[in-house]
Every structure is written in structure tokens, then in C-alpha cells.
A and B are shown apart, each in its own frame.
Chain A
Amino acid sequence: MSGYVLPQKTYYLVFAALLLLTLVTVEVAFFDMGLLNFPMALAISTCKATIVILYFMHLRYSSRLTWLVAGAGVFWLFILIALTMSDYLTRASLSVLGG
């Protein structure tokens, strides 16, 4: 429930974690990991977004209905990107068949 009051300490901890992860994301970008650079950047951003949603946006203390709505948003974004890319990523391999 959004009426749940979190201790101030929680907010400062989340804040510190977010700043730390920002530093990590910048440092990691200058480090050559080949193909892993992009997934790494996305993974760190997803971590940051998750703790913002859970603590700053109080989702951790919200009702299941709110969880469902937030989850549906993320799931539909996944559909949007995944189905679009399932087309673009496979065009080269299918063009052999289609001509």
C-alpha cells in the first residue's frame, strides 16, 4: 500500500546504489568486452530501473493489482521490441529461401 512510510535510510541507500551503478555503467563502457558491452549496459540500466520502481515508486509495498499493471507494461514493451526484432534479425537468413 502506498500509505506505507519507508525509513529515510532506505531512500539514501537506494540513492547511493543508483549513483554507484551510474559510475559502473560509465566505467564499463570504456572497457572493451566485445559483444558483451551492450548486454552489460542494458543489465545495469535494468537493475537501476528495478530499484527505482521497487523503492522510490513503492511498488514493493503496493497491491498485487499494481504489480500486475506495472508487469503488463513491461511485458508489452517486451512484445513490442522482441516481435519487431524477431522480424529484422531473421530477414538475412530467410532471404535465401524467399529470394
Chain B
Amino acid sequence: MPIGRRRPTLAEHHAALAHQFDDLDQQREASSLGMWVFLVTEIMFFGGLFTGYTVYRHAYPEAFADASRRLAVALGAVNTAVLICSSLTMALAVRSAQVGKRRGVIAFLSLTMLLGSAFLVVKGVEYAHKFHDHLVPGATFAFEGPHRPHAELFFSFYFAMTGLHALHMVIGIGILAALVVLSSRGRFSPDDYAAVENTGLYWHFVDIVWIFLFPLLYLISRT
């Protein structure tokens, strides 16, 4: 706060402005910065798995290529498209919140939830196929050829990485549901939509994780 400017009294505060901030811009900046810091911890969270994957893919390239060919590229590609669509609807939901279109916020958040759920359904179908084909690591794991143990390792990474990603989607859909309820109660305004904005950041981050998972898991060796 510049010297000489009188700090507003509580009564003079903008309704959406928390007491500790100078103005709405500073408040918005602080909330989005906090979300980015959280996303950096998420990068580290997934980063460990990506590093482990890199180490073992480098150690057993043929086994990883062989195992990767057992994944359904078509389903993975469709899911990538579904997730990109959901990122668009999420971005449009945030935009609707920025310009104060409540019905737009509710519609686009609901669409995002729908697309996120569609992603999880496709993922579930893929998991079911893997159980059916005995490709789930454990006692029943079956894989023809010389690469059995290391193919099992690939599928451990597959389930750990896509599973953790799917868990993030489930949490995201839960948050979206809460936002739809809050929005229908008129909780957000162009001055106060940090929750929508930050959920958008989270949702796009989860999209980015999948953008890397798709080629790394499904497209190792398709030539």
C-alpha cells in the first residue's frame, strides 16, 4: 500500500475483498499464486513416477515396447480428445465466471464433469480388458514371450500412473460438483471467482499429465 493512502475501514471494504489485501487484483494474484505453488508440488508428485518410468524404460526397452503394444491406442487417443474437450469447457467456465454469466458457468462446469466422467468410463473399460487379459501385475499376470517379468514392471507403471491420474480426475469431478452447487447459489461474481479459476488450473494440470502419459505408455513402439 503506497504511503499516504488511507487503509479502508472494514465497512468500506468491497464485499469480495478479504481484509488482508490492498485490492482485488492483489487478492486474485495471491490466490492464483498459491494454486501454482500447489501444482508445483503435484509436478514433483508425478515426477517421481515419470523418473522411475524413464529409468526402467531405459533398462528394458524391448520389454516396455512389447508390453506397450498390448494397450489400446484407439481408446487412449479417444480419451486424450475427451480430456482436451473437457479442458476447453473448463476454460470457458472460467471465462463465464470472469464475465459474470452464471448460467454459462453452471453449463460449462457440468459439461466438464460429464466429459471427465466419460474419460473415467473409457479408462474403466480399458482396466476391465487388462484384468480379462491377465495383464494386471500379480499372481495371475500372464505374458507370452521372453519379456514377462519386465512387461509386468511396465504394467505396474501403467496402473500406478494412470491410476494416480484417474484419482486426480475423481477428485476434480467432486470439486466441480461443489462448484456447480455454489454457483447455482450465486456464490461467484466477476470480482470473486477464485475457486473457479483455481479449479481450472487444477483441471488443466491433470490434462497436461495425461498429454504426457498417452505417448509414453501407449505409443512406445507402434511402427
Contact = CB atoms under 8 A, between A and B. Distances in A.
A53 B200 CA distance: 11
A35 to B, nearest CB: 11
B32 interface: yes
B140 interface: no
Q: Which of A25, A32, A74, A89 has most chain B Cβ within 10 Å?
A: A25
Q: How large is the interface on B (under 10, 10 to 19, 20 to 34, 35 or more residues)?
A: 35 or more
B88 A85 contact: no
A52 to B, nearest CB: 5
A84 B215 contact: no
Interface string A57-80: 100001101100110111011001
Interface stretch (B46-54, B119-127, B180-188): B46-54
A73 B42 CA distance: 9
Interface string B52-92: 00110011000000000000010001001100110110111
Contact of A80 (B24, B47, B207, B219): B47
Interface residues of A, number: 49
Contacts of A31: 223
A81 B54 contact: yes
B43 A49 contact: no
A14 B85 CA distance: 11
Nearest to A50: B208
A56 B91 contact: yes
Nearest to B57: A38
Interface stretch (B6-14, B33-41, B164-172): B33-41
B29 interface: yes
Which 9 A-B residue pairs are closest in the complex by CB-CB distance?
A73-B40, A32-B223, A29-B219, A41-B215, A15-B88, A73-B43, A29-B222, A69-B36, A18-B84
Interface of B: 24-25, 28-29, 32-33, 36-37, 39-40, 43-44, 47-48, 50-51, 54-55, 58-59, 73, 77, 80-81, 84-85, 87-88, 90-92, 95, 98-99, 197, 200-201, 204-205, 207-208, 211-212, 214-216, 219-223
30 contacts: A1-B29, A2-B28, A2-B29, A3-B25, A3-B98, A5-B95, A15-B85, A15-B88, A25-B214, A26-B219, A29-B223, A38-B220, A41-B215, A41-B219, A44-B215, A45-B211, A48-B211, A52-B87, A52-B204, A56-B88, A57-B201, A63-B29, A69-B37, A76-B47, A77-B50, A80-B44, A81-B50, A84-B55, A85-B55, A89-B58
Interface of A: 1-3, 5-6, 8, 11-12, 14-15, 18-19, 22, 25-26, 29-32, 37-38, 41-42, 44-45, 48-49, 52-53, 55-57, 62-63, 65-66, 69-70, 72-74, 76-77, 80-81, 84-85, 88-89
